[in-house]
Structure 1
Amino acid sequence: MVGGRLCCLCCFFTYSAVLLLGVCLHDVEASNCPRIIHKQVGDTVELPSCLPTEGVTSVVWKFGDKTVADMEQSLNTQSTDRIYLNNTTCSLTVRRLIAQDSGNYSFLSEAKDVQRDTVIITLHVHEPITTPVLTANTTSHAFNGSCTVFLWCTSDGQVNYNWTVKDRTHRGSSTQHYTIRPQDGETTFTCTVWNVVSEQSASTTVTCSNDTSDPTKPEPENFVLFLSVAAGAGLTIIIVVTIIIWVCLHTQRQSEGSDANDLTVYADISDYASEDRTSANMKPCSVYETIDNRVNAATSGPQTVYDKIQFNHMRNASGSP
């Protein structure tokens, strides 16, 4: 009777050990199965089933609510040349990934006609990272001789930023500012943009100088040269404008003098030959000659009233004293 109890205890412990070993193996296998996978656009991914394949009688892979692979029907609703179902390992392979492939993939299976737990794997497909553009702007401080460096790092997509300065790296945002001094010499700043699948970097070197002049103001030599050129250009413009005004006034005066000459009586009265003169080759007479010619020629004899009276009424001299 005691031997029977010992045998039962041995069987119980043996069954418990086997069951515990099976649970441990299952947990180890499940822990080695990734439930979240990150890939880049254009890559190929293999989604594991995360369950034993012995005695599997039915396998279905779904993307969201859509069935993308079925072992029995060889169903593939997305793209037959991109999706492949391995009937031995029950894994699902997706080639030439695109951003729209991101989402939850469900593995449904039956072993010996018994439904097993559903395995869900989340796939993240990331856009490729472009090389960032790093811009630096330095401002000098006269009171202590230091410089403040402002940095901007830009890149496409959702990325994280790491900054490396003097062999020290820390995580930050897309903009940073640092303080450096002339004794630091050349200081290199590196911006690294990254995600879980790739990364890209850009660097720039900055030196702090004691020159506190405003970089937006022109240098003195250049400023003097600029003033000289501006003065010369202004003087040239003044001379040209003066010449143009003088020419215009001179032309106007000549025009007014010509008009005044044309408006005199000499211009209005046309030349003509005297009616009393019959000579063919006689020159045209002026207005004075015309007026003079039209006066009747003086007759011989007395021209005054007195003369007329004397001549017309004179009596013969009497012989008496």
Structure 2
Amino acid sequence: MVGGRLSCFFTYVSVLLPGVCLQDVETYTCKRNIHKKVGDTVELPSCLSPEGVTMAQWKYGSSVIADKNMNISFKSQFTGRLELNPTTFNLTVRRLTLKDSGDFSFISDVSERQRKTVTITLQVHEPITIEPAVTFNSSWHASTNSCRVSLECSAAAGSSVAYSWAVRTETLSGSRQHYNITPQDGDTGFTCSISNVVSEKSASVTVKCSSDPRGSGPDLIVVLCAAAGGCLMLVLIVGVAVYFCHCKQSQAGSDSNDLTVYADVTEVAIGSRTSSSMKPCTLYETIENREDTVTHGPHTVYDQIQFSRMRKASVSPYQEIS
């Protein structure tokens, strides 16, 4: 009696266990979360056996978009992009957009009994098409004879991405990093990668540690180039201004007869004389012409200036020295 009961028990287990295992395998292999990028095509699995199905339909949110009788909704956002497999009841969606992200539900009946609803979550992502921008700043620390490198990696605005860094054999996470290097390390490469579940882009920079503050990075070179360009522009502007001023002065001077101080003095001398045949040209000639008016006058500029002075009789017993 006992042996018969044990035999029935093992028979029952042998029949039930494969079904349980099959259901577990079926559940395990069914992908419930799917990631795709914009423009892709996705096939949403029903995850259940199609045998004996009397009713089957797919919903997006609360709206029915396809059913077993091949009725496809033409009033939804999926118009012209859906295809239902009549054998497996898998649903294909083409030309995915960001708005297609959400929950898709498969509802089915077997022998008029409803089975468990299968929900597939679809997430559509924008692919990364632009490399990240990497900036850095290196500062020398004499106390440790090393450089402190500060790095920042940034993706395009509005992107939802994950950041990672590769430095030698290390992998770091986050958009900002601080790293110490020494002059003995030589050129050190830093690679930043941005990624989502459907795409990835990377960018790299090379940093060299130096105790010379002029070697702290490309920012100093940019500043020096900008300063040199500004100085050159200033020199050109001043040169052009001087050139135009010189041209204006030359043009104005061409309209006058005399260009020197001596000529100005000569004009005065010419105007004070009545003879047009005697025209002194310089200040010295004007002084020499003064000598012609005196019969026994002095012969030097100093004496000519002192000529009109009256001398008093000397009371000194010594000889007067002129």
Tell me which amino acid in the other structure corresponds to 1:195: N
TM-score (ref. length: structure 1): 0.65
Shift of 1:177: 2.7
The 1:177/1:132 distance shift into structure 2, 3 A limit, reads farther
1:199-243 CA distance string (max 9 Å, x none): 111111122222214838759x969x87x959x769949x86x96
CA contact (8 A) 1:188 1:206 kept: yes
The 1:234/1:108 distance shift into structure 2, 3 A limit, reads closer
1:37 aligned counterpart, secondary structure: strand
The aligned residue for residue 189 of structure 2 is 188
CA contact (8 A) 1:138 1:147 kept: no
Hey, what's the Cα distance between the residues in 2 that align with 1:84 and 1:10? 49
RMSD: 3.6
The aligned residue for residue 149 of structure 1 is 149
Tell me which amino acid in the other structure corresponds to 2:207: V
Shift of 1:52: 1.3
The aligned residue for residue 308 of structure 2 is none
CA contact (8 A) 2:190 2:205 kept: yes
TM-score (ref. length: structure 2): 0.65
The 1:54/1:138 distance shift into structure 2, 3 A limit, reads same
Tell me which amino acid in the other structure corresponds to 1:132: E
Unaligned segments of structure 1, at least 5 residues = 251-321
2:122 aligned counterpart, secondary structure: strand
Hey, what's the Cα distance between the residues in 1 that align with 2:139 and 2:240? 37
The aligned residue for residue 273 of structure 2 is none
Shift of 1:6: 4.3
The aligned residue for residue 277 of structure 1 is none
1:64-83 equivalence runs, <5 A? 64-77=61-74, 78=76, 79-83=78-82
The 1:217/1:15 distance shift into structure 2, 3 A limit, reads closer
Hey, what's the Cα distance between the residues in 2 that align with 1:128 and 1:217? 36
CA contact (8 A) 1:134 1:153 kept: yes
1:100-150 CA distance string (max 9 Å, x none): 110001000011211111011111111101232333333332624533333
Hey, what's the Cα distance between the residues in 2 that align with 1:169 and 1:185? 20
Tell me which amino acid in the other structure corresponds to 1:118: T
Hey, what's the Cα distance between the residues in 2 that align with 1:167 and 1:20? 49
Hey, what's the Cα distance between the residues in 1 that align with 2:241 and 2:120? 81
Larger deviation, residues 141-150 vs 183-192: 141-150
The aligned residue for residue 39 of structure 2 is 42
Shift of 1:189: 0.7
The aligned residue for residue 165 of structure 1 is 167
1:152 aligned counterpart, secondary structure: strand
Tell me which amino acid in the other structure corresponds to 1:138: N
Hey, what's the Cα distance between the residues in 1 that align with 2:173 and 2:137? 22
Unaligned segments of structure 2, at least 5 residues = 257-322
Larger Rg, first or second structure (1 or 2) = 1
The 1:72/1:235 distance shift into structure 2, 3 A limit, reads closer
1:141 aligned counterpart, secondary structure: strand
1:11-160 equivalence runs, <5 A? 11-77=8-74, 78=76, 79-141=78-140, 143-144=142-143, 145-156=145-156, 157-160=159-162
Shift of 1:65: 0.7
Q: Percent identity between the aligned chains?
A: 47
CA contact (8 A) 2:141 2:147 kept: no
1:10-41 CA distance string (max 9 Å, x none): 23431232122211210121111111111111
The 1:141/1:235 distance shift into structure 2, 3 A limit, reads farther
2:153 aligned counterpart, secondary structure: strand
1:129 aligned counterpart, secondary structure: coil
Hey, what's the Cα distance between the residues in 1 that align with 2:128 and 2:240? 55
CA contact (8 A) 1:165 1:189 kept: yes
Hey, what's the Cα distance between the residues in 2 that align with 1:103 and 1:229? 65
Hey, what's the Cα distance between the residues in 1 that align with 2:193 and 2:183? 26
Tell me which amino acid in the other structure corresponds to 2:192: C
Hey, what's the Cα distance between the residues in 2 that align with 1:153 and 1:31? 38
Hey, what's the Cα distance between the residues in 2 that align with 1:103 and 1:222? 57
The 1:120/1:217 distance shift into structure 2, 3 A limit, reads closer
Tell me which amino acid in the other structure corresponds to 2:94: R
